[in-house]
Amino acid sequence: MKTWETRFGRRFDSTAKLTCSGVVEWLDAYVDRELSSVANAGVGRHVAGCQNCRTLVSERTRLKRQVKTSVSSVSVPQRLTWMLQAALRREQ
Ligand SMILES: [Zn+2]
């Protein structure tokens, strides 16, 4: 499985102590569950002990959910348009 790290040519250093600013660049991929298990565990360890990063994770999770909701609310009328067009074509 191709992880976020291989795609972006990043390597997670599991021996280095993660700081908040170090964690931030991994957070998006962490929230998307695209990290390798090593990186995921490392970020997860920091997040578990850091209120600041826990807040960031929950904010990003909420944002992602909002994006998903707005995307699906756009695609419904679009599908409706296609259905109407197809129905109209059938009537001709
Ligand atoms: Zn932190």
Q: Which residue, chain included where needed, has tokens 């998903």?
A: 68
Cα-to-centroid distance, 47 and ligand 1 (Å): 6
- Angle, vertex CA 62, rays to CA 4 and CA 29, nearest 5: 10
User: What local confidence, expressed as pLDDT, does residue 72 receive?
Assistant: 67
Cα-to-centroid distance, 55 and ligand 1 (Å): 9
Q: Read off the pLDDT band of 80 (50, 70, 90).
A: confident
Cα-to-centroid distance, 46 and ligand 1 (Å): 6
Contact 42, 18 (CB under 8 A): yes
Amino acid occupying residue 39? A
Q: What is the mean pLDDT of residues 39-44?
A: 94
Cα-to-centroid distance, 53 and ligand 1 (Å): 4
Q: What is the mean pLDDT of residues 72-91?
A: 77
The model's pTM is 0.66
- Which of 3-7, 9-13, 26-30, 78-82 has the lowest average pLDDT? 78-82
Cα-to-centroid distance, 3 and ligand 1 (Å): 22
Structure tokens at 30: 């962490």
Percent of the chain with pLDDT over 90: 43
Sequence-distant (6+) residues with CB within 8 A of 33 are 40
Between the alpha carbon of residue 9 and those of residues 3, 12, 22, 29, the distances in Å are: 10, 10, 16, 13
